[in-house]
Structure 1
Amino acid sequence: MRIAGDPKPSVIAALWRSTHPGPSLVVTAVALTLGVAAGLDPWRIAVLTAAILLGQLSVGLSNDAIDARRDRLIARTDKPLARGDVSLRVAWAAASVCVLLSLGLSVALSWAMGLAHLVALASAWSYNAGLKSTPVSVLPFMVSFGLLPSLVTLSAAEPRPAAGWAWIAGAALGIAIHLTNVLPDLDDDARTGVRGLPHRLGRRLSAVIAALALVGGAVAVLVGPASPAGPEWLSIVIFVGVVAIAAAGLVLALVRPPGRRVFQLVMLASLLLCVLLAATGRALAA
Protein backbone atom coordinates (compact mmCIF):
# COMPACT_ATOMS: atom_id res chain seq x y z
CA MET A 1 0.00 0.00 0.00
CA ARG A 2 1.71 3.18 -1.23
CA ILE A 3 1.40 6.38 0.76
CA ALA A 4 -0.50 9.10 -1.16
CA GLY A 5 1.87 11.38 -3.03
CA ASP A 6 4.82 8.98 -2.68
CA PRO A 7 6.52 8.65 -6.11
CA LYS A 8 6.62 5.17 -7.60
CA PRO A 9 10.20 3.86 -7.98
CA SER A 10 11.46 2.20 -11.14
CA VAL A 11 10.92 -1.54 -11.59
CA ILE A 12 14.65 -2.20 -11.20
CA ALA A 13 14.83 -0.20 -7.97
CA ALA A 14 11.73 -1.94 -6.60
CA LEU A 15 13.12 -5.38 -7.46
CA TRP A 16 16.47 -4.54 -5.88
CA ARG A 17 14.80 -3.48 -2.62
CA SER A 18 12.84 -6.77 -2.69
CA THR A 19 16.01 -8.87 -2.76
CA HIS A 20 16.89 -8.09 0.88
CA PRO A 21 20.06 -6.40 -0.40
CA GLY A 22 21.74 -6.08 3.01
CA PRO A 23 21.79 -9.79 3.93
CA SER A 24 22.38 -10.77 0.28
CA LEU A 25 25.50 -8.61 0.04
CA VAL A 26 26.78 -9.78 3.44
CA VAL A 27 26.53 -13.49 2.50
CA THR A 28 28.16 -12.72 -0.86
CA ALA A 29 30.99 -10.84 0.88
CA VAL A 30 31.56 -13.81 3.20
CA ALA A 31 31.80 -16.19 0.22
CA LEU A 32 34.17 -13.79 -1.57
CA THR A 33 36.38 -13.50 1.52
CA LEU A 34 36.49 -17.26 2.02
CA GLY A 35 37.32 -17.74 -1.66
CA VAL A 36 40.28 -15.38 -1.42
CA ALA A 37 41.42 -16.95 1.85
CA ALA A 38 41.19 -20.45 0.37
CA GLY A 39 43.47 -19.42 -2.51
CA LEU A 40 41.04 -19.87 -5.40
CA ASP A 41 42.06 -18.65 -8.85
CA PRO A 42 40.85 -15.09 -9.54
CA TRP A 43 38.37 -16.16 -12.23
CA ARG A 44 36.94 -18.79 -9.88
CA ILE A 45 36.52 -16.18 -7.15
CA ALA A 46 34.66 -13.93 -9.60
CA VAL A 47 32.33 -16.71 -10.76
CA LEU A 48 31.76 -17.91 -7.18
CA THR A 49 30.89 -14.39 -6.05
CA ALA A 50 28.44 -13.90 -8.92
CA ALA A 51 26.82 -17.30 -8.31
CA ILE A 52 26.34 -16.64 -4.60
CA LEU A 53 25.00 -13.12 -5.18
CA LEU A 54 22.48 -14.26 -7.79
CA GLY A 55 21.37 -17.11 -5.55
CA GLN A 56 20.87 -14.75 -2.62
CA LEU A 57 18.90 -12.32 -4.79
CA SER A 58 16.59 -15.16 -5.81
CA VAL A 59 16.02 -16.08 -2.16
CA GLY A 60 15.16 -12.51 -1.21
CA LEU A 61 12.81 -12.05 -4.15
CA SER A 62 10.99 -15.32 -3.50
CA ASN A 63 10.62 -14.41 0.16
CA ASP A 64 8.94 -11.08 -0.58
CA ALA A 65 6.80 -12.57 -3.36
CA ILE A 66 5.49 -15.29 -1.05
CA ASP A 67 4.98 -12.83 1.81
CA ALA A 68 3.38 -10.08 -0.29
CA ARG A 69 -0.16 -10.78 0.93
CA ARG A 70 0.95 -11.00 4.56
CA ASP A 71 2.96 -7.79 4.22
CA ARG A 72 -0.12 -6.00 2.88
CA LEU A 73 -2.15 -7.15 5.88
CA ILE A 74 0.32 -5.57 8.30
CA ALA A 75 0.86 -2.51 6.09
CA ARG A 76 4.58 -3.01 5.43
CA THR A 77 5.23 0.20 3.50
CA ASP A 78 8.91 -0.74 3.22
CA LYS A 79 8.08 -3.72 0.99
CA PRO A 80 7.84 -2.82 -2.74
CA LEU A 81 5.71 -5.85 -3.61
CA ALA A 82 3.25 -5.09 -0.83
CA ARG A 83 3.10 -1.46 -1.99
CA GLY A 84 2.41 -2.50 -5.57
CA ASP A 85 5.60 -0.91 -6.91
CA VAL A 86 6.25 -4.03 -9.00
CA SER A 87 4.01 -6.96 -9.91
CA LEU A 88 4.33 -10.44 -8.46
CA ARG A 89 4.69 -11.85 -11.97
CA VAL A 90 7.75 -9.69 -12.63
CA ALA A 91 9.21 -10.56 -9.21
CA TRP A 92 8.79 -14.30 -9.80
CA ALA A 93 10.31 -13.99 -13.27
CA ALA A 94 13.33 -12.14 -11.85
CA ALA A 95 13.73 -14.71 -9.06
CA SER A 96 13.62 -17.56 -11.60
CA VAL A 97 16.22 -15.92 -13.85
CA CYS A 98 18.50 -15.29 -10.88
CA VAL A 99 18.34 -18.85 -9.58
CA LEU A 100 18.94 -20.36 -13.03
CA LEU A 101 21.93 -18.10 -13.70
CA SER A 102 23.26 -18.84 -10.23
CA LEU A 103 23.14 -22.59 -10.74
CA GLY A 104 24.60 -22.30 -14.25
CA LEU A 105 27.62 -20.42 -12.89
CA SER A 106 27.97 -22.94 -10.06
CA VAL A 107 28.09 -25.86 -12.50
CA ALA A 108 30.75 -23.98 -14.50
CA LEU A 109 32.96 -24.23 -11.40
CA SER A 110 32.26 -27.93 -10.82
CA TRP A 111 29.34 -30.33 -10.89
CA ALA A 112 29.79 -30.88 -7.17
CA MET A 113 29.53 -27.13 -6.55
CA GLY A 114 26.39 -26.98 -8.69
CA LEU A 115 24.76 -29.79 -6.73
CA ALA A 116 25.75 -28.34 -3.34
CA HIS A 117 24.47 -24.90 -4.32
CA LEU A 118 21.21 -26.43 -5.54
CA VAL A 119 20.72 -28.04 -2.12
CA ALA A 120 21.57 -24.78 -0.33
CA LEU A 121 19.15 -22.74 -2.44
CA ALA A 122 16.39 -25.35 -2.23
CA SER A 123 16.79 -25.27 1.53
CA ALA A 124 16.52 -21.45 1.60
CA TRP A 125 13.49 -21.43 -0.71
CA SER A 126 11.81 -24.10 1.44
CA TYR A 127 12.06 -21.74 4.40
CA ASN A 128 10.29 -19.04 2.40
CA ALA A 129 7.70 -21.52 1.14
CA GLY A 130 6.48 -22.57 4.58
CA LEU A 131 9.13 -23.94 6.93
CA LYS A 132 9.38 -20.47 8.53
CA SER A 133 6.07 -21.24 10.27
CA THR A 134 7.14 -24.59 11.74
CA PRO A 135 9.16 -25.74 14.77
CA VAL A 136 12.00 -26.72 12.38
CA SER A 137 12.34 -23.22 10.88
CA VAL A 138 16.01 -23.21 11.88
CA LEU A 139 16.81 -26.28 9.75
CA PRO A 140 17.12 -24.44 6.39
CA PHE A 141 19.56 -22.00 7.98
CA MET A 142 21.65 -24.84 9.37
CA VAL A 143 21.72 -26.58 5.99
CA SER A 144 22.38 -23.52 3.81
CA PHE A 145 24.97 -21.88 6.06
CA GLY A 146 26.51 -25.24 6.89
CA LEU A 147 27.09 -25.73 3.15
CA LEU A 148 28.57 -22.25 2.60
CA PRO A 149 32.22 -23.24 3.30
CA SER A 150 31.82 -26.21 0.95
CA LEU A 151 30.50 -23.95 -1.81
CA VAL A 152 33.92 -22.31 -1.64
CA THR A 153 36.06 -25.44 -1.48
CA LEU A 154 34.01 -27.15 -4.21
CA SER A 155 34.76 -24.17 -6.46
CA ALA A 156 38.49 -24.98 -6.48
CA ALA A 157 40.34 -26.56 -9.40
CA GLU A 158 40.35 -29.76 -7.31
CA PRO A 159 36.89 -29.62 -5.68
CA ARG A 160 36.62 -31.04 -2.18
CA PRO A 161 33.99 -30.59 0.53
CA ALA A 162 34.88 -28.39 3.48
CA ALA A 163 36.26 -29.91 6.66
CA GLY A 164 33.78 -31.12 9.27
CA TRP A 165 34.58 -28.31 11.69
CA ALA A 166 33.78 -25.78 8.97
CA TRP A 167 30.35 -27.38 8.50
CA ILE A 168 29.76 -27.04 12.25
CA ALA A 169 30.81 -23.38 12.23
CA GLY A 170 28.58 -22.61 9.25
CA ALA A 171 25.58 -24.33 10.84
CA ALA A 172 26.20 -22.48 14.12
CA LEU A 173 26.27 -19.20 12.20
CA GLY A 174 22.96 -20.11 10.56
CA ILE A 175 21.37 -20.87 13.94
CA ALA A 176 22.48 -17.53 15.39
CA ILE A 177 21.33 -15.54 12.36
CA HIS A 178 17.90 -17.17 12.28
CA LEU A 179 17.20 -16.89 15.99
CA THR A 180 18.09 -13.18 16.10
CA ASN A 181 17.08 -11.99 12.63
CA VAL A 182 13.36 -12.51 13.27
CA LEU A 183 13.30 -10.90 16.73
CA PRO A 184 12.32 -7.42 15.45
CA ASP A 185 9.37 -8.94 13.52
CA LEU A 186 7.94 -11.26 16.20
CA ASP A 187 4.89 -9.09 16.85
CA ASP A 188 4.05 -8.67 13.17
CA ASP A 189 4.56 -12.40 12.60
CA ALA A 190 2.19 -13.24 15.45
CA ARG A 191 -0.54 -11.15 13.80
CA THR A 192 -0.28 -13.18 10.59
CA GLY A 193 0.12 -16.67 12.05
CA VAL A 194 3.87 -17.18 11.52
CA ARG A 195 5.20 -19.32 14.36
CA GLY A 196 8.68 -20.60 13.71
CA LEU A 197 11.17 -21.83 16.27
CA PRO A 198 12.13 -18.35 17.59
CA HIS A 199 8.46 -17.50 18.09
CA ARG A 200 7.99 -20.64 20.15
CA LEU A 201 11.17 -20.16 22.17
CA GLY A 202 10.57 -16.47 22.88
CA ARG A 203 12.95 -13.53 22.65
CA ARG A 204 15.14 -14.33 25.65
CA LEU A 205 15.74 -18.03 24.99
CA SER A 206 16.30 -17.37 21.27
CA ALA A 207 18.98 -14.78 22.07
CA VAL A 208 20.65 -17.09 24.60
CA ILE A 209 20.79 -20.03 22.17
CA ALA A 210 22.10 -17.75 19.40
CA ALA A 211 24.96 -16.55 21.60
CA LEU A 212 25.85 -20.09 22.69
CA ALA A 213 25.77 -21.31 19.07
CA LEU A 214 28.30 -18.66 18.08
CA VAL A 215 30.63 -19.68 20.90
CA GLY A 216 30.32 -23.30 19.81
CA GLY A 217 31.09 -22.36 16.21
CA ALA A 218 34.13 -20.37 17.30
CA VAL A 219 35.43 -23.31 19.32
CA ALA A 220 35.04 -25.59 16.28
CA VAL A 221 37.08 -23.22 14.10
CA LEU A 222 39.77 -22.72 16.75
CA VAL A 223 40.42 -26.38 17.49
CA GLY A 224 39.37 -27.97 14.18
CA PRO A 225 42.18 -27.20 11.71
CA ALA A 226 45.18 -29.48 12.06
CA SER A 227 47.50 -26.68 10.92
CA PRO A 228 46.15 -23.09 10.99
CA ALA A 229 46.98 -21.08 7.86
CA GLY A 230 47.68 -17.83 9.70
CA PRO A 231 49.41 -16.92 12.98
CA GLU A 232 47.95 -18.85 15.89
CA TRP A 233 47.83 -15.72 18.03
CA LEU A 234 45.55 -14.02 15.47
CA SER A 235 43.04 -16.86 15.61
CA ILE A 236 43.10 -16.72 19.41
CA VAL A 237 42.50 -12.96 19.41
CA ILE A 238 39.53 -13.28 17.04
CA PHE A 239 38.19 -16.22 19.05
CA VAL A 240 38.34 -14.19 22.25
CA GLY A 241 36.50 -11.38 20.47
CA VAL A 242 33.68 -13.72 19.35
CA VAL A 243 33.31 -15.19 22.84
CA ALA A 244 33.44 -11.79 24.58
CA ILE A 245 30.83 -10.19 22.34
CA ALA A 246 28.56 -13.25 22.41
CA ALA A 247 28.88 -13.33 26.21
CA ALA A 248 27.90 -9.65 26.40
CA GLY A 249 24.81 -10.38 24.34
CA LEU A 250 24.04 -13.39 26.53
CA VAL A 251 24.25 -11.33 29.72
CA LEU A 252 22.04 -8.58 28.29
CA ALA A 253 19.48 -11.15 27.18
CA LEU A 254 19.36 -12.62 30.68
CA VAL A 255 19.07 -9.37 32.64
CA ARG A 256 16.55 -7.54 30.43
CA PRO A 257 14.13 -8.28 27.57
CA PRO A 258 16.29 -8.70 24.44
CA GLY A 259 16.20 -5.60 22.24
CA ARG A 260 18.11 -4.12 19.34
CA ARG A 261 21.36 -3.97 21.33
CA VAL A 262 21.36 -7.76 21.80
CA PHE A 263 20.62 -8.20 18.11
CA GLN A 264 23.55 -5.93 17.19
CA LEU A 265 25.95 -7.78 19.50
CA VAL A 266 24.99 -11.18 18.10
CA MET A 267 25.40 -9.89 14.54
CA LEU A 268 28.84 -8.47 15.41
CA ALA A 269 29.90 -11.79 16.92
CA SER A 270 28.61 -13.52 13.75
CA LEU A 271 30.79 -11.25 11.62
CA LEU A 272 33.84 -12.05 13.73
CA LEU A 273 33.10 -15.77 13.40
CA CYS A 274 33.21 -15.31 9.61
CA VAL A 275 36.58 -13.56 9.97
CA LEU A 276 37.83 -16.45 12.13
CA LEU A 277 36.64 -18.90 9.48
CA ALA A 278 38.45 -16.95 6.77
CA ALA A 279 41.65 -16.95 8.85
CA THR A 280 41.87 -20.73 8.41
CA GLY A 281 42.69 -20.21 4.71
CA ARG A 282 43.44 -23.39 2.77
CA ALA A 283 42.73 -25.49 5.87
CA LEU A 284 39.05 -24.94 5.03
CA ALA A 285 39.06 -27.95 2.69
CA ALA A 286 38.71 -31.43 4.14
Structure 2
Amino acid sequence: MHAIRALWGSTHPGPTLVVTALALVLGIALGLEPWRLALLTVAVFAGQVSIGLSNDAIDAPRDRAVGRGDKPIARGDVSERLAWACAIGAVAAALLLSAPLGFGMLAAHAVFLASAWAYNAGLKATPFSIAPFLVSFGIFPSLATLSMPEPRIAAWWGWIAGAALGAAVHLTNVLPDLEDDRRTGVRGLPHRLGPRASAVLAAVGIVVGAVAVLLGSSGGALTAVSPAGWAFFAAVVGVAAATAVLALVRPPTRTLFRLVMLAALLLAAQLAATGGAVAA
Protein backbone atom coordinates (compact mmCIF):
# COMPACT_ATOMS: atom_id res chain seq x y z
CA MET A 1 0.00 0.00 0.00
CA HIS A 2 2.90 2.35 0.74
CA ALA A 3 4.28 1.85 -2.78
CA ILE A 4 0.82 2.37 -4.30
CA ARG A 5 0.36 5.63 -2.41
CA ALA A 6 3.82 6.76 -3.50
CA LEU A 7 3.09 5.91 -7.12
CA TRP A 8 -0.22 7.76 -7.01
CA GLY A 9 1.51 10.78 -5.48
CA SER A 10 3.94 10.72 -8.41
CA THR A 11 1.19 10.94 -11.02
CA HIS A 12 0.50 14.61 -10.19
CA PRO A 13 -2.98 13.63 -8.92
CA GLY A 14 -4.60 17.07 -9.16
CA PRO A 15 -3.91 17.72 -12.85
CA THR A 16 -4.49 14.03 -13.66
CA LEU A 17 -7.99 14.12 -12.18
CA VAL A 18 -8.82 17.53 -13.66
CA VAL A 19 -7.83 16.50 -17.21
CA THR A 20 -9.75 13.24 -16.80
CA ALA A 21 -12.79 15.20 -15.62
CA LEU A 22 -12.48 17.48 -18.67
CA ALA A 23 -12.64 14.45 -20.95
CA LEU A 24 -15.67 13.11 -19.08
CA VAL A 25 -17.52 16.43 -19.27
CA LEU A 26 -16.80 16.80 -22.99
CA GLY A 27 -17.93 13.23 -23.64
CA ILE A 28 -21.19 13.81 -21.78
CA ALA A 29 -21.78 17.07 -23.68
CA LEU A 30 -21.33 15.21 -26.97
CA GLY A 31 -23.80 12.52 -25.91
CA LEU A 32 -21.36 9.62 -26.16
CA GLU A 33 -22.77 6.17 -25.54
CA PRO A 34 -21.87 4.82 -22.08
CA TRP A 35 -19.21 2.39 -23.35
CA ARG A 36 -17.57 5.09 -25.48
CA LEU A 37 -17.67 7.54 -22.60
CA ALA A 38 -16.12 4.98 -20.25
CA LEU A 39 -13.32 4.10 -22.68
CA LEU A 40 -12.56 7.78 -23.37
CA THR A 41 -12.41 8.62 -19.67
CA VAL A 42 -10.28 5.66 -18.63
CA ALA A 43 -7.94 6.07 -21.64
CA VAL A 44 -7.34 9.73 -20.79
CA PHE A 45 -6.81 8.83 -17.12
CA ALA A 46 -4.23 6.17 -18.02
CA GLY A 47 -2.45 8.59 -20.32
CA GLN A 48 -2.28 11.24 -17.61
CA VAL A 49 -0.91 8.70 -15.14
CA SER A 50 1.85 7.84 -17.62
CA ILE A 51 2.71 11.52 -18.09
CA GLY A 52 2.94 12.23 -14.38
CA LEU A 53 4.98 9.13 -13.56
CA SER A 54 7.43 9.64 -16.42
CA ASN A 55 7.90 13.28 -15.43
CA ASP A 56 8.82 12.45 -11.84
CA ALA A 57 10.96 9.46 -12.85
CA ILE A 58 12.98 11.62 -15.24
CA ASP A 59 13.24 14.44 -12.71
CA ALA A 60 14.19 12.23 -9.74
CA PRO A 61 17.96 12.99 -9.84
CA ARG A 62 17.28 16.75 -10.09
CA ASP A 63 14.64 16.58 -7.36
CA ARG A 64 17.10 14.85 -5.02
CA ALA A 65 19.74 17.47 -5.79
CA VAL A 66 17.49 20.28 -4.59
CA GLY A 67 15.91 18.34 -1.70
CA ARG A 68 12.36 18.05 -3.04
CA GLY A 69 10.75 16.32 -0.07
CA ASP A 70 7.34 16.42 -1.74
CA LYS A 71 8.39 14.02 -4.51
CA PRO A 72 7.90 10.32 -3.58
CA ILE A 73 10.40 8.98 -6.12
CA ALA A 74 13.08 11.45 -5.05
CA ARG A 75 12.42 10.54 -1.39
CA GLY A 76 12.95 6.87 -2.18
CA ASP A 77 9.37 5.86 -1.32
CA VAL A 78 9.19 4.05 -4.65
CA SER A 79 11.97 2.99 -7.00
CA GLU A 80 12.59 4.66 -10.33
CA ARG A 81 12.48 1.22 -11.95
CA LEU A 82 8.96 0.55 -10.67
CA ALA A 83 7.83 4.05 -11.63
CA TRP A 84 9.14 3.54 -15.17
CA ALA A 85 7.44 0.15 -15.45
CA CYS A 86 4.12 1.66 -14.37
CA ALA A 87 4.52 4.67 -16.67
CA ILE A 88 5.17 2.44 -19.68
CA GLY A 89 2.30 0.16 -18.71
CA ALA A 90 -0.03 3.15 -18.34
CA VAL A 91 0.82 4.61 -21.75
CA ALA A 92 0.31 1.20 -23.35
CA ALA A 93 -3.06 0.90 -21.60
CA ALA A 94 -4.04 4.39 -22.77
CA LEU A 95 -3.40 3.47 -26.40
CA LEU A 96 -5.07 0.06 -26.13
CA LEU A 97 -8.18 1.65 -24.61
CA SER A 98 -8.22 4.30 -27.35
CA ALA A 99 -8.09 1.78 -30.20
CA PRO A 100 -11.75 0.57 -29.97
CA LEU A 101 -12.86 4.20 -30.37
CA GLY A 102 -11.35 4.34 -33.84
CA PHE A 103 -8.11 5.05 -35.64
CA GLY A 104 -8.61 8.82 -35.42
CA MET A 105 -8.91 8.76 -31.64
CA LEU A 106 -5.93 6.40 -31.35
CA ALA A 107 -3.75 8.60 -33.57
CA ALA A 108 -4.78 11.81 -31.81
CA HIS A 109 -4.17 10.34 -28.37
CA ALA A 110 -0.78 9.00 -29.50
CA VAL A 111 0.26 12.49 -30.65
CA PHE A 112 -1.11 13.99 -27.42
CA LEU A 113 0.97 11.58 -25.32
CA ALA A 114 4.10 11.81 -27.46
CA SER A 115 4.02 15.59 -27.12
CA ALA A 116 3.64 15.41 -23.33
CA TRP A 117 6.42 12.83 -22.98
CA ALA A 118 8.68 15.00 -25.18
CA TYR A 119 8.20 17.82 -22.67
CA ASN A 120 9.21 15.51 -19.83
CA ALA A 121 12.19 14.18 -21.78
CA GLY A 122 13.85 17.54 -22.33
CA LEU A 123 11.73 20.23 -23.99
CA LYS A 124 10.90 21.60 -20.53
CA ALA A 125 14.46 22.98 -20.35
CA THR A 126 14.25 24.93 -23.61
CA PRO A 127 12.60 28.16 -24.81
CA PHE A 128 10.09 25.89 -26.58
CA SER A 129 8.79 24.39 -23.35
CA ILE A 130 5.31 25.72 -24.06
CA ALA A 131 5.02 23.92 -27.41
CA PRO A 132 3.95 20.50 -26.03
CA PHE A 133 1.17 22.17 -24.04
CA LEU A 134 -0.09 24.00 -27.11
CA VAL A 135 -0.04 20.76 -29.10
CA SER A 136 -1.49 18.40 -26.49
CA PHE A 137 -4.19 20.70 -25.14
CA GLY A 138 -5.00 21.90 -28.64
CA ILE A 139 -5.68 18.29 -29.62
CA PHE A 140 -7.55 17.52 -26.41
CA PRO A 141 -11.13 18.47 -27.47
CA SER A 142 -10.69 16.23 -30.53
CA LEU A 143 -10.15 13.19 -28.29
CA ALA A 144 -13.84 13.47 -27.41
CA THR A 145 -15.14 14.34 -30.88
CA LEU A 146 -13.08 11.54 -32.46
CA SER A 147 -14.67 9.11 -29.99
CA MET A 148 -18.11 9.70 -31.52
CA PRO A 149 -19.78 7.03 -33.72
CA GLU A 150 -19.17 9.44 -36.61
CA PRO A 151 -15.75 10.79 -35.62
CA ARG A 152 -14.67 14.28 -36.52
CA ILE A 153 -11.99 16.79 -35.61
CA ALA A 154 -13.06 19.43 -33.08
CA ALA A 155 -14.06 22.84 -34.37
CA TRP A 156 -11.28 25.42 -34.81
CA TRP A 157 -12.33 27.34 -31.73
CA GLY A 158 -12.02 24.18 -29.63
CA TRP A 159 -8.38 23.94 -30.71
CA ILE A 160 -7.77 27.58 -29.76
CA ALA A 161 -9.48 27.19 -26.40
CA GLY A 162 -7.52 24.05 -25.60
CA ALA A 163 -4.16 25.50 -26.66
CA ALA A 164 -4.77 28.71 -24.71
CA LEU A 165 -5.64 26.73 -21.61
CA GLY A 166 -2.56 24.54 -22.07
CA ALA A 167 -0.37 27.62 -22.23
CA ALA A 168 -1.88 28.89 -18.99
CA VAL A 169 -1.33 25.53 -17.28
CA HIS A 170 2.35 25.48 -18.26
CA LEU A 171 3.04 29.10 -17.36
CA THR A 172 1.66 28.72 -13.82
CA ASN A 173 2.58 25.13 -12.94
CA VAL A 174 6.33 25.78 -12.80
CA LEU A 175 6.27 29.14 -11.00
CA PRO A 176 6.92 27.93 -7.42
CA ASP A 177 9.83 25.78 -8.65
CA LEU A 178 11.67 28.40 -10.71
CA GLU A 179 14.65 28.68 -8.37
CA ASP A 180 15.04 24.92 -7.94
CA ASP A 181 14.83 24.50 -11.71
CA ARG A 182 17.52 27.11 -12.30
CA ARG A 183 19.85 25.29 -9.93
CA THR A 184 19.51 22.11 -11.98
CA GLY A 185 19.80 23.72 -15.40
CA VAL A 186 16.11 23.85 -16.38
CA ARG A 187 15.30 27.11 -18.18
CA GLY A 188 12.01 26.83 -19.98
CA LEU A 189 9.93 29.70 -21.29
CA PRO A 190 8.44 30.70 -17.88
CA HIS A 191 11.96 30.87 -16.40
CA ARG A 192 12.98 33.26 -19.15
CA LEU A 193 9.85 35.41 -18.89
CA GLY A 194 9.87 35.63 -15.11
CA PRO A 195 7.08 34.79 -12.66
CA ARG A 196 4.89 37.86 -12.98
CA ALA A 197 4.98 38.05 -16.76
CA SER A 198 4.26 34.31 -16.95
CA ALA A 199 1.28 34.53 -14.61
CA VAL A 200 -0.22 37.55 -16.39
CA LEU A 201 0.25 35.81 -19.75
CA ALA A 202 -1.46 32.74 -18.29
CA ALA A 203 -4.43 34.88 -17.26
CA VAL A 204 -4.62 36.27 -20.79
CA GLY A 205 -4.56 32.71 -22.13
CA ILE A 206 -7.52 31.76 -19.95
CA VAL A 207 -9.53 34.69 -21.27
CA VAL A 208 -8.57 33.87 -24.89
CA GLY A 209 -9.88 30.33 -24.36
CA ALA A 210 -13.15 31.57 -22.94
CA VAL A 211 -13.63 34.10 -25.75
CA ALA A 212 -12.90 31.43 -28.37
CA VAL A 213 -15.63 29.20 -26.93
CA LEU A 214 -18.09 32.10 -26.63
CA LEU A 215 -17.62 33.36 -30.18
CA GLY A 216 -17.01 30.04 -31.89
CA SER A 217 -19.95 28.17 -30.43
CA SER A 218 -22.37 30.98 -31.31
CA GLY A 219 -20.99 31.64 -34.79
CA GLY A 220 -20.15 35.16 -33.67
CA ALA A 221 -23.77 35.93 -32.79
CA LEU A 222 -23.54 36.79 -29.08
CA THR A 223 -27.33 36.95 -28.82
CA ALA A 224 -27.33 33.20 -29.46
CA VAL A 225 -25.23 32.47 -26.37
CA SER A 226 -27.26 30.78 -23.64
CA PRO A 227 -27.50 32.26 -20.12
CA ALA A 228 -25.45 29.30 -18.87
CA GLY A 229 -22.79 30.04 -21.48
CA TRP A 230 -22.56 33.64 -20.33
CA ALA A 231 -22.43 32.58 -16.67
CA PHE A 232 -19.52 30.20 -17.24
CA PHE A 233 -17.75 32.79 -19.40
CA ALA A 234 -18.03 35.33 -16.60
CA ALA A 235 -16.73 32.78 -14.09
CA VAL A 236 -13.70 31.94 -16.25
CA VAL A 237 -12.87 35.62 -16.73
CA GLY A 238 -13.25 36.14 -12.98
CA VAL A 239 -10.75 33.37 -12.26
CA ALA A 240 -8.36 34.85 -14.83
CA ALA A 241 -8.61 38.25 -13.16
CA ALA A 242 -7.90 36.70 -9.76
CA THR A 243 -4.85 34.92 -11.21
CA ALA A 244 -3.46 38.18 -12.62
CA VAL A 245 -4.07 40.14 -9.41
CA LEU A 246 -2.44 37.49 -7.21
CA ALA A 247 0.54 37.34 -9.54
CA LEU A 248 1.05 41.09 -9.26
CA VAL A 249 0.65 41.46 -5.49
CA ARG A 250 2.15 38.25 -4.08
CA PRO A 251 5.09 35.91 -4.72
CA PRO A 252 4.14 32.96 -6.97
CA THR A 253 2.60 29.98 -5.16
CA ARG A 254 0.65 26.83 -6.04
CA THR A 255 -2.51 28.94 -5.66
CA LEU A 256 -2.00 30.31 -9.17
CA PHE A 257 -1.88 26.81 -10.61
CA ARG A 258 -4.96 25.77 -8.63
CA LEU A 259 -6.82 28.78 -10.03
CA VAL A 260 -5.88 27.72 -13.56
CA MET A 261 -7.12 24.19 -12.84
CA LEU A 262 -10.40 25.72 -11.63
CA ALA A 263 -10.53 27.75 -14.84
CA ALA A 264 -10.03 24.53 -16.80
CA LEU A 265 -13.07 22.95 -15.17
CA LEU A 266 -15.14 26.09 -15.74
CA LEU A 267 -14.02 26.22 -19.36
CA ALA A 268 -15.12 22.59 -19.75
CA ALA A 269 -18.48 23.51 -18.28
CA GLN A 270 -18.67 26.42 -20.75
CA LEU A 271 -17.96 23.96 -23.57
CA ALA A 272 -20.65 21.62 -22.23
CA ALA A 273 -23.13 24.49 -22.19
CA THR A 274 -22.68 24.81 -25.98
CA GLY A 275 -24.50 21.50 -26.40
CA GLY A 276 -21.73 19.73 -28.25
CA ALA A 277 -21.15 22.50 -30.78
CA VAL A 278 -17.42 21.78 -30.63
CA ALA A 279 -18.12 18.76 -32.86
CA ALA A 280 -19.84 20.86 -35.53
TM-score (norm 2): 0.93
Aligned counterpart, 2:91: 99
Q: Contact (CA 8 Å) 2:20, 2:44: kept in 1 or not?
A: yes
Aligned counterpart, 2:130: 138
* Residues in 2 aligned to 1:79 and 1:254: alpha-carbon distance in whole angstroms: 28
* Residues in 1 aligned to 2:246 and 2:67: alpha-carbon distance in whole angstroms: 31
Q: Which runs of 4+ in 1 moved over 6 A?
A: none
* Residues in 1 aligned to 2:113 and 2:261: alpha-carbon distance in whole angstroms: 22
* Residues in 2 aligned to 1:205 and 1:283: alpha-carbon distance in whole angstroms: 33
> 1:233 offset after TM fit, Å?
1.3
Aligned counterpart, 1:253: 247
Q: 2:231 aligns with which of 224, 234, 237?
A: 237
Sort the Cα spacing of 1:276 and 1:114 in 2 relative to 1 into closer, same or farther, 3 A.
same
Q: 1:166 aligns with which of 140, 158, 172?
A: 158
* Residues in 2 aligned to 1:107 and 1:265: alpha-carbon distance in whole angstroms: 34
- For residues 197-276 of structure 1, the aligned pairs below 5 Å read 197-226=189-218, 232-276=226-270
* Residues in 1 aligned to 2:146 and 2:260: alpha-carbon distance in whole angstroms: 29
* Residues in 2 aligned to 1:256 and 1:223: alpha-carbon distance in whole angstroms: 33
Aligned counterpart, 1:4: none
* Residues in 2 aligned to 1:235 and 1:135: alpha-carbon distance in whole angstroms: 36
Q: How many residues align?
A: 277
Aligned counterpart, 1:26: 18
Structure 2 stretches lacking a partner, 5+ long: none
User: Which range moves more in the overlay, 263-272 or 273-282?
Assistant: 263-272
State the identity %.
Answer: 64
Q: Contact (CA 8 Å) 1:146, 1:167: kept in 2 or not?
A: yes
Q: Contact (CA 8 Å) 2:161, 2:210: kept in 1 or not?
A: yes
* Residues in 2 aligned to 1:258 and 1:24: alpha-carbon distance in whole angstroms: 22
**SS of 1:76 mapped into structure 2:** coil
- The answer to whether structure 1 residue 16 and structure 2 residue 5 are counterparts is no
CA deviations over 1:27-83 (Å, ceiling 9, x no partner)? 101101110111000110001111000000000110011011111111122222112
Aligned counterpart, 1:277: 271
Output the amino acid matched with 2:130.
V
* Residues in 2 aligned to 1:79 and 1:252: alpha-carbon distance in whole angstroms: 26
* Residues in 2 aligned to 1:131 and 1:251: alpha-carbon distance in whole angstroms: 29
Q: Contact (CA 8 Å) 1:34, 1:281: kept in 2 or not?
A: no
Q: Contact (CA 8 Å) 1:146, 1:174: kept in 2 or not?
A: yes
* Residues in 1 aligned to 2:81 and 2:257: alpha-carbon distance in whole angstroms: 34
* Residues in 1 aligned to 2:11 and 2:54: alpha-carbon distance in whole angstroms: 8
Q: Contact (CA 8 Å) 1:176, 1:210: kept in 2 or not?
A: yes
> 1:96 offset after TM fit, Å?
0.9
Aligned counterpart, 1:184: 176
Aligned counterpart, 1:6: none
Output the amino acid matched with 1:23.
P
**SS of 1:39 mapped into structure 2:** coil
* Residues in 1 aligned to 2:13 and 2:242: alpha-carbon distance in whole angstroms: 28
Q: Contact (CA 8 Å) 1:19, 1:57: kept in 2 or not?
A: yes
Structure 1 stretches lacking a partner, 5+ long: 1-8
User: Which range moves more in the overlay, 40-49 or 71-80?
Assistant: 71-80
> 1:128 offset after TM fit, Å?
0.2
- The answer to whether structure 1 residue 90 and structure 2 residue 82 are counterparts is yes
**SS of 2:276 mapped into structure 1:** helix
**SS of 1:137 mapped into structure 2:** coil
CA deviations over 1:102-149 (Å, ceiling 9, x no partner)? 101111111100000000000000000000000110110111111110
TM-score (norm 1): 0.91
